[in-house]
Structure 1
Amino acid sequence: MFLSALLVALLAIISQWWFFAPITRCLTYPLTTGLLVGIFMGNPMLGMLSGATIQLVYLGWINTGGVMPSNTMVAGIFGTALTILSGANPKLAVTFAVPFSLIGLLMVEIYQSVNSFWVHRADAELAKGNVKAIRFLNYVPSFIVSLIVYGIPAFCLVYFGKGWAQSMLRMIPKSLTTALEVVGAIMPALGIAMLLNYLGKKSLVPYFFIGFFLTAYLKLQIMAVAIFAGLLAYLLYINEKFRTTAANAAPAKKKVNRLTLQNRTGAPQTVTPATADSTSIAQDISPLNYKIKLTHSDLVKTWLWEQSDEACYNYERLQALGLTNMMIYPIRKLYPQNKQADELKKYMVFFNTEPHMVGPVIHGIALSMEEARANGANVSAEDINGVRTGLMGPAAGIGDTVQQGIIFPILASIGATMALERNYFGPIMFTVVFELIIYSIGYLMFMYGYKKGKASVVSILKSGLLDKVTNAFSIVGLMVVGTMAATRVTIKTPLIWHVGQSVIKVQSLFNQLAPSLIPLLITLLVWWLLRKKVNASIIVVGIFVIGILCSYLGILATI
């Protein structure tokens, strides 16, 4: 048990101490950590089932701007560990995880608040010209804080918790256990509704119902629906592309009759449509004849260092210390030793954006500007930070939307469904494919930003490609979410009516109207509450209260 406790504690530490994103990114998700906790504690199947069950609740919880609405790391690791320790039904994992996630919010507050001290220490070290201290301060103090805040509680839970966890479960009456299972069966409706609220443009909402009824009536599996949705989205994208091309294929010149002061007769004049002045778009500031130039290897190494930009994530300046740590390598290549500390100071200002997929384009741009500055171009520190600050908001909006709001829920829904069908490939597929997608795109964006400079973001936004791709992925996401509503809100009514000598099951009446109608109605009700700006935490409490009450009254039961 000591080794199990030690491994779970280490997992808890690095789930918050993001020292290298390709390793730690998916450790924020219960689908991944559930399987790992199960392996460490000798029950991988129960761990996987528990993690997948917990993940369904948090499909739509999106962290933006440094704000975490719920601590999914603690929910996944601690909730799964307690489920395994107690030997409980994995359906109860959600009821264990939700309280832990709320406690986890306090743990995040402590972790990120304490980390603010190391930023001030880094300021002092740079003032003394001590560049090496930045590496130390970005990694070591935050590791110690995570060890204390996350690691020690996780170790104690696993090492000392088995006896009291089993005793606690035995003390719970069977009726309450059944009621909590009902709560767990309803909870996925919240995650699904949050995604529907996030993705559900009015024009796209019908795709949610298409996904739902494909599964409810035709019994299609989630992978089949995802493939069908992908093909449909591709066809719609191609059709929209052709329509746009046709609309833009207007004559370059046209004859119009225009009465002007110079032409009072109204004779035809040639009018050329306005075109964007090429000089209005920022040009690449990196000429080919630099004396000091970064190599491709330098760029790759800088991108790898960028994966530690949240190792010392803190409330005061968020990613500032991590990005200063990233820039040490190129700054050493570009500037003499006596200038390196001063050049790094510009990166110690507040900075926060989506760090993995779209945000790297900003760092590529900053790197190209830094290279120009090192070669004597008229680029000031204020210019570099002005560009970085101006772009961090748009990049965050795009990156968070595509990554957390579209790519993640699609893959997590498929992975969780496979996991709940007792297929170990589910969480493995999710972790590998998710990371391959976001880091491949992130690498390309970093290189694109460096190559094109400031014009890179302008060209992306002007192309209109982003909206089309986002809509295509949203269609896939909504259809997959519809499938989840039909299969993972596993609730029914056991009510029966006695009519004379006949017994009518109310659930049969619902099934005649539409299969899985109760899960659909519950999901839509939660979605309606979210649209009315009801806080998700209040909805969680409401689900607990209503689920327990309806179970005791015999109104709802699990499928």
Structure 2
Amino acid sequence: MLEIWQIAAVTLLAFLVPIDKYGLTIGLRWPIITGLILGFILGDMKTALFIGGTLELMALGVTSIAGSSVPEYSTAAIIAIVIASQTGQSMEAGLALGLPVAMLGVQFDVVAKIINGFIVRKSQIYANAGQFARMKRILLLGPVIMGLTAAIPVLLAITLGAAAIKEVLAVMPAWFSNGLTIAGRVLPAVGIALLLNYMPVKRYFQYLLAGFFFVAWLNVPILGVTAVGLIAAIHYYSKNDAAPASATTNEILDDE
């Protein structure tokens, strides 16, 4: 059972996530950072980082373009981490249960943007009338509304308590629980696939194949693959930077 200060801290974190997404941008919008902070709050760093990292992978290929609304994966991470940590369910099950909240966050985000549209128009009226104090005050409602889109569902979810969530999980049939677990394990692959759509995979396919070879066959940890990738990237860009310099030197010698 969460203590009052933990409920307040989790709700505050959820409130700050959308504000960071559209304003501060200090990192709270990323599920892995949200998971790290929640790990300290709940005292369950393993669960928090696992779920946060998994949702981070899924969110890599998803971005909001031109004001479009996308799933709130950080909000999903908060609820999923709390569920998994407080109910004793598997991390995959908590992850899958938190995803509907991410999808619901899209609807909340749309409603908040509609409301903020009215606020902006009202602030413009105040600005045209020279009432700048009122303009500043009404514009402060924008971040508050965005923060509530995440804080309200998170607060409702965690105040139901672990007992209520356990009862819901208990009545779920085994096939459904197993499905949630499988879905939780598949989701990172979905995020990676979405990310690859934005990358020049055909041009650098050999590096992708090498990374897969290291992980699938040699069982090299992700950190080791990252180090090899960093070395390859440094070599590639150093080689490309040296080529124009050599061409320039040859041109100078030819002129002489």
Partner of 2:163: 163
Which aligned pairs between 1:426-445 and structure 2 lie closer than 5 A?
Answer: none
Partner of 1:290: none
Q: Quick one: structure 1 residues 253 and 65, their matched pair in 2 at CA, closer, same or farther if it must change by over 3 Å?
A: farther
The one-character-per-residue Cα deviations of 1:116-168 (angstroms, maximum 9, x if unpaired) are 12211221222232344454334x21243235433232222111232221111
Partner of 2:187: 187
Partner of 2:4: 2
Cα distance in 2 for partners of 1:126, 1:84 equals 49
Deviation at 1:82, TM superposition (A): 2.7
Cα distance in 2 for partners of 1:242, 1:38 equals 46
The one-character-per-residue Cα deviations of 1:185-225 (angstroms, maximum 9, x if unpaired) are 12211111112221134211221111111222332222222
Deviation at 1:252, TM superposition (A): 11
Partner of 2:97: 96
Work out whether residues 83 and 96 of structure 1, in 8 Å CA contact, stay in contact via their aligned partners in 2: no
Cα distance in 2 for partners of 1:202, 1:19 equals 32
Work out whether residues 39 and 48 of structure 2, in 8 Å CA contact, stay in contact via their aligned partners in 1: yes
Partner of 2:110: 109
The one-character-per-residue Cα deviations of 1:245-289 (angstroms, maximum 9, x if unpaired) are 3344536998xxxxxxxxxxxxxxxxxxxxxxxxxxxxxxxxxxx
Q: Which AA in structure 1 matches 2:159?
A: Y
Cα distance in 1 for partners of 2:8, 2:89 equals 22
Q: Please report the TM-score for the alignment, with normalisation by the length of structure 2.
A: 0.85
Q: Quick one: structure 1 residues 245 and 220, their matched pair in 2 at CA, closer, same or farther if it must change by over 3 Å?
A: same
Deviation at 1:21, TM superposition (A): 4.9
5+ residue gaps, structure 2, are none
Work out whether residues 20 and 28 of structure 2, in 8 Å CA contact, stay in contact via their aligned partners in 1: no
Deviation at 1:181, TM superposition (A): 1.3
Secondary structure of the residue that 1:68 maps to in structure 2? coil
Partner of 1:16: 18
Partner of 2:213: 213
Secondary structure of the residue that 1:199 maps to in structure 2? coil
The one-character-per-residue Cα deviations of 1:437-468 (angstroms, maximum 9, x if unpaired) are xxxxxxxxxxxxxxxxxxxxxxxxxxxxxxxx
Secondary structure of the residue that 2:100 maps to in structure 1? helix
Secondary structure of the residue that 2:27 maps to in structure 1? helix
Work out whether residues 12 and 151 of structure 1, in 8 Å CA contact, stay in contact via their aligned partners in 2: yes
Cα distance in 2 for partners of 1:44, 1:160 equals 23
Q: Quick one: structure 1 residues 129 and 137, their matched pair in 2 at CA, closer, same or farther if it must change by over 3 Å?
A: same
Cα distance in 2 for partners of 1:135, 1:193 equals 43
Partner of 1:79: 80
Which aligned pairs between 1:31-70 and structure 2 lie closer than 5 A?
Answer: 31-70=32-71
Deviation at 1:35, TM superposition (A): 3.0
Secondary structure of the residue that 2:61 maps to in structure 1? coil
Q: Which AA in structure 1 matches 2:50?
A: L
Secondary structure of the residue that 2:28 maps to in structure 1? helix
Which aligned pairs between 1:398-547 and structure 2 lie closer than 5 A?
Answer: none
Cα distance in 2 for partners of 1:144, 1:199 equals 36
Secondary structure of the residue that 1:26 maps to in structure 2? coil
Q: Quick one: structure 1 residues 18 and 104, their matched pair in 2 at CA, closer, same or farther if it must change by over 3 Å?
A: same
The one-character-per-residue Cα deviations of 1:462-517 (angstroms, maximum 9, x if unpaired) are xxxxxxxxxxxxxxxxxxxxxxxxxxxxxxxxxxxxxxxxxxxxxxxxxxxxxxxx
Partner of 2:126: 125
Deviation at 1:90, TM superposition (A): 0.7
Which aligned pairs between 1:368-387 and structure 2 lie closer than 5 A?
Answer: none
1:240 aligns with 2:209: no
Q: Quick one: structure 1 residues 148 and 195, their matched pair in 2 at CA, closer, same or farther if it must change by over 3 Å?
A: closer
Deviation at 1:87, TM superposition (A): 2.3
Q: Quick one: structure 1 residues 253 and 45, their matched pair in 2 at CA, closer, same or farther if it must change by over 3 Å?
A: closer
Q: Which has the larger radius of gyration?
A: 1
Cα distance in 2 for partners of 1:187, 1:147 equals 26
Q: Please report the TM-score for the alignment, with normalisation by the length of structure 1.
A: 0.42
Cα distance in 2 for partners of 1:227, 1:50 equals 24
Cα distance in 2 for partners of 1:37, 1:222 equals 23
Q: Which AA in structure 2 matches 1:96?
A: L
Q: Quick one: structure 1 residues 147 and 54, their matched pair in 2 at CA, closer, same or farther if it must change by over 3 Å?
A: closer
Cα distance in 1 for partners of 2:155, 2:61 equals 29
Structure having the larger proportion of residues in helix: 2
The one-character-per-residue Cα deviations of 1:521-551 (angstroms, maximum 9, x if unpaired) are xxxxxxxxxxxxxxxxxxxxxxxxxxxxxxx
Cα distance in 1 for partners of 2:195, 2:31 equals 17
Deviation at 1:42, TM superposition (A): 4.5
Q: Which AA in structure 2 matches 1:12?
A: A
Q: Which AA in structure 2 matches 1:43?
A: D
Q: Which AA in structure 2 matches 1:195?
A: L
Partner of 2:222: 222
Q: Which AA in structure 2 matches 1:4?
A: Q
Work out whether residues 87 and 166 of structure 2, in 8 Å CA contact, stay in contact via their aligned partners in 1: yes
Cα distance in 1 for partners of 2:204, 2:152 equals 46
Cα distance in 2 for partners of 1:253, 1:147 equals 65
Q: Which AA in structure 1 matches 2:130?
A: G
Cα distance in 1 for partners of 2:114, 2:218 equals 51
Q: Which AA in structure 1 matches 2:55?
A: I
Cα distance in 1 for partners of 2:203, 2:30 equals 30
Cα distance in 2 for partners of 1:203, 1:123 equals 49
Work out whether residues 85 and 165 of structure 1, in 8 Å CA contact, stay in contact via their aligned partners in 2: no
Work out whether residues 69 and 110 of structure 2, in 8 Å CA contact, stay in contact via their aligned partners in 1: no
Q: Quick one: structure 1 residues 237 and 214, their matched pair in 2 at CA, closer, same or farther if it must change by over 3 Å?
A: same
Partner of 1:545: none
Q: Quick one: structure 1 residues 96 and 217, their matched pair in 2 at CA, closer, same or farther if it must change by over 3 Å?
A: same
Identity among equivalent positions (%) equals: 22
Cα distance in 2 for partners of 1:238, 1:102 equals 43
Deviation at 1:107, TM superposition (A): 0.9
Secondary structure of the residue that 2:217 maps to in structure 1? helix
Cα distance in 1 for partners of 2:92, 2:248 equals 54
Deviation at 1:66, TM superposition (A): 2.2
Q: Which AA in structure 2 matches 1:227?
A: A
Deviation at 1:15, TM superposition (A): 0.6
Work out whether residues 122 and 137 of structure 1, in 8 Å CA contact, stay in contact via their aligned partners in 2: yes
Q: Which AA in structure 1 matches 2:124?
A: D
